[in-house]
Amino acid sequence: MNAQWRWERAADALPVLLDGFKITLLATVLGFVIAAVLGLVIAVIRQTFPRWVSAPVRAVAEFIRLTPLVVQLLFVYYTFSSFSALQIGVVVLGIHYSTYMAEVYRAGIEAVPRGQWEAARALSISPARMWRAVILPQAIRRVIPALGNYAVSLFKDTPFLFAITVVEMVTAAQQFGARNFQYLEPLTLAGVIFLVASYPTSLLIRRLEKRLVQQ
């Protein structure tokens, strides 16, 4: 096996990696949507529902957050075999990261000044409208940068989908290397694609965070 870089082999690997990148990107986007929505639901339940409801939700969220993502993927994959591996991967990624985002939302909600809560109650605003029009807009605005950081983390965790046979970008790179007995070019290109895709996003999140702080 020759470890010397060859541009023609890299050119052959690139289309394969880009096909895998489509799966990586799809899993990232759908997983993030699930995580963002479910995380908000968990945070609101923990803040508004009675303890007999919020306590079990918190316990389940803690269990998911503190157990390895790979174990969760394998458990769900072998338990719910009627679904495709990609469907399972997207849902598990979303649920796993929702537990982290719930903590972010909770911090944002608790950062809303108490005067805002008291003013809403003094105006006899219904709880649903208070959350929709007063609390959540302020809370979400504060946590957008943190949510963006978790989106990048979710993107970088998509290679774990190899455990349930999803051919995302890193798995595609490994398969190409196995077929050609050359791993240098495909794995290097996979790392470069991850960097090219995630670094601008990180810069955008940093810029957004500075802008929100200045407002």
pLDDT tens profile 154-207:
999 999 999 999 999 999 999 999 998 889 999 999 999 999 998 888 888 778
Residues of the chain with pLDDT under 50: none
**pLDDT number for residue 213:** 58
Q: What is the pLDDT of residue 214?
A: 58
**Domains of the chain by residue range:** 7-214
Residue 80, pLDDT score? 93
Q: Cα(11)–Cα(113) distance, rounded to whole angstroms?
A: 56
pLDDT at residue number 212: 64
Predicted pLDDT at 144: 86
CA gap 213, 105 in Å, rounded: 17
> At the fourth CATH level, which superfamily is domain 7-214?
MetI-like (1.10.3720.10)
Helix ranges restricted to H, 158-183 = 169-180
pLDDT score for 128:
81
The SS3 call for residue 84 is coil
Q: How far apart are CA 132 and CA 115, in angstroms?
A: 17
The pLDDT score that the predictor gives to residue 2 is 57
d(CA 138, CA 214): 15
